[in-house]
Structure 1
Amino acid sequence: MILKRLALAATAVLAFATLSPASAQQVLKVGSTPTGVPFTFLDTKSNTIQGIMVDLITEIGKDAGFKVQIEPMQFSTLIASLTSNKIDLISAAMFITPQRKEVIDFSDPVYAYGEGLIVPASDTKNYTKFEDLKGTVVGAQVGTAFVEPLKQSGFFPEVKIYDTIPDILRDVNTKRLQAGFADYPILAYNLKQGMFPEVRLVESFKPSIVGSVGIGVRKSDTELLKKINASLAKLKADGTVDRILAKWGIKASGAS
């Protein structure tokens, strides 16, 4: 009888342990970055990560039946943190790319955009493409979809790699860097805050690396991905996604 009770207890424990985070409606750990304003950023007043992707995953969780715990981390560590189970989701300004899809899965697209070009304000040339900057030392953020195309273009003697976008902005602002490439909406938002007065966003530049941002999910979490996509579709249909974008000064026309 005792052995039977122990066996039943062990079975119950095993069944509980194998419940997925989504089915148990647990709190899911969500990786976000502190330097991707307005998609994700550290709000120094509340000491919390805020932004478009935080608002979005919070609303998705409300609809899908889970709560979120935002975990701040560097952009370059997000995918490794997801695959090693340190976090359960990625909600940041991360492009859906074929290379990344080999490692993790993504939700349906949330918002589409391309790279922006920044130069010192004293540089008034109307650059439109990479080739216009041939021979220039440029910068990009580590782990982003812009690094390899810049290197492979053959136009630049050096592509400097930076940890964060504000680092790129600071070096362009002080003319230590001649040109920098990063997510257009993030550059535009930073410059609107007036913190980098000696930096110009080149409006004539036409992006060549256009992609869509999505929620990152482990390949094994197929049911969770289905729930996220279903909730995302609802939030697009009822205008919630557009309202979140508008709250942070992003035009809804870029949504996909």
Structure 2
Amino acid sequence: MYKKILVILMFITLTFTLFLAGCGNTTTGETTLQKAQKTGEIKIGFANEKPYAYKDDNGQLTGEAVEIAKVIFERLGIKKIHGELTEFGSLISGLKAKRFDVITAGMFITPERCQQVAFANPEYSIGEALAVQKGNPKNLHSYEDIAKDSSIKVAVMAGAQEAKILKEVGVKENQIVIVNDQPSAIAELESGRVDAVTMTGPSLQAMLDSAKSDKIERVMDFKDPVINGKVLRNYGAAAFRKEDTDFVKAYNEELEKMKQSGELLKILKKFGFTENELPGDVKAKDICK
């Protein structure tokens, strides 16, 4: 009889423990959103990548993703933001490890990333861009041009989507030079250690404007890569932990209001975006398929 009672008690204890483990916070039962609303504070992960999320000359955190998030967080009752500078390639692992609560770095939504994080709906859409040495000596106008010449080297930021895209159009892995951040990519091009640098259009333009170098230039007639017969277009969004479904829902509701009112476009324009970069009616779930 004693053994039966002991087994029952052990079962009840184990069940209760598993129930608590399934809650957003094992000590309070709060979700990330509830905790942030209660404290009025949140920690975000960013990668110091213009124009998405970076610190300006005064050390203030800004960028299109940050400014959009600030508006939404404030309307959700979260007024104070703490930024956690992280290499782009470590943002998702940092989010999952709870070093911060949201990624506001203009990260592209991809099916692979959707397996690891929950994306809000896109806040912008964008194409790729290419910078080369002055005069474009290698005559590069597309990723396909890079693929045709195995001697050409192209710099890409660690963790960025461009490395995968380059490989999909036939660029060999040994042609791709991985760097820690965008300034490093520009430095590689200026020094001649690579023949090209690729990143998104607004990001590349922001870096070139900042560098003010007479040694490099943007390829203005760059042709967007074509993958599986479709011209590539990327969509960027904030990312949350998988379990933070209430946060994603609340964020999306406020983002939609900003789209409808025109407020989203006003913020995007401050960082070099145009109406062409608006996300339209595309939803994260459509891209995650």
| TM score, norm. by length of structure 2 | 0.78
Name the aligned partner's letter for residue 223 of structure 1.
D
Gapped regions of structure 2 (runs ≥ 5): 1-24, 226-231, 280-289
SS of equivalent to 1:91: strand
Q: Return the alpha-carbon distance in structure 1 between the equivalents of residues 190 and 26 of structure 2.
A: 57
Q: Residue in 2 aligned with 1:98?
A: 111
Partners in 1 of 2:87 and 2:221 — Cα distance? Answer: 30
Q: Which has the larger radius of gyration?
A: 2
Which residue identity does 1:250 align to in structure 2? F
Question: For the residues of structure 2 that align with 1:15 and 1:99, how far apart are their CA atoms?
Answer: 29
Q: Judging changes above 3 Å, is the alpha-carbon distance between structure 1 residues 182 and 249 closer, same or farther for their aligned structure 2 residues?
A: closer
Q: Deviations over 1:26-84 (max 9, x none)?
A: 312111122x1111122232x23221111111001012222332222111111001111
Partner AA of 2:219 in structure 1: V
More divergent stretch after superposition (201-210 vs 211-220) = 201-210
Give the aligned length: 241
User: Residue type matched to 2:266 in 1?
Assistant: R
Residue 15 of structure 1: how far off its partner (Å): 9.2
Q: Which ranges of 4 or more aligned residues in structure 1 deviate by more than 6 Å?
A: none
Checking the alignment, whether the CA contact within 8 Å between 1:169 and 1:196 is kept in structure 2 is: no
Partner of 1:84: 97
Partner of residue 76, structure 2: 64
CA RMSD of aligned residues (A): 1.9
Taking structure 1 as the reference length, the TM-score comes to 0.87
Q: Specify the alignment match of 2:287 in structure 1.
A: none
| Alignment counterpart, residue 132 of structure 1, candidates 145, 151, 160 | 145
Q: How big is the shift at 1:194?
A: 4.7
- The Cα shift of 1:153 comes to 3.5
Q: Between the two proteins, what is the percent identity of the paired residues?
A: 27
The amino acid that maps onto 2:220 is: E
Is contact 2:123-2:237 (8 Å) kept?
yes
Letter aligned with residue 160 of structure 1: V
Check the 8 A contact 2:120/2:251 in 1, yes or no: yes
Cross-structure match for 1:223: 246
Please say if 1:155 is aligned against 2:180. Answer: no
| Residue 21 (structure 1) aligned to one of 18, 32, 39 | 32
Rounded Cα–Cα distance in structure 1 between residues aligned with 2:26 and 2:218: 55
Contact 1:118–1:200 under 8 Å retained in 2:
yes
Which consecutive unaligned segments of at least 5 residues does structure 1 have?
Answer: 1-13
The superposition leaves residues 101-140 of structure 1 with CA deviations (integer Å, 9 ceiling, x where unpaired) of: 0100101111111221111013256533222222212121
- 1:30 paired residue number: 44
- Give the CA deviation at 1:251: 1.1
Name the SS of the counterpart of 1:87 in structure 2. coil
- 1:232 and 2:264 matched: no
| Counterparts in 2 of 1:129 and 1:18: CA distance versus 1, 3 Å | same
Q: Which amino acid aligns with 1:17?
A: T
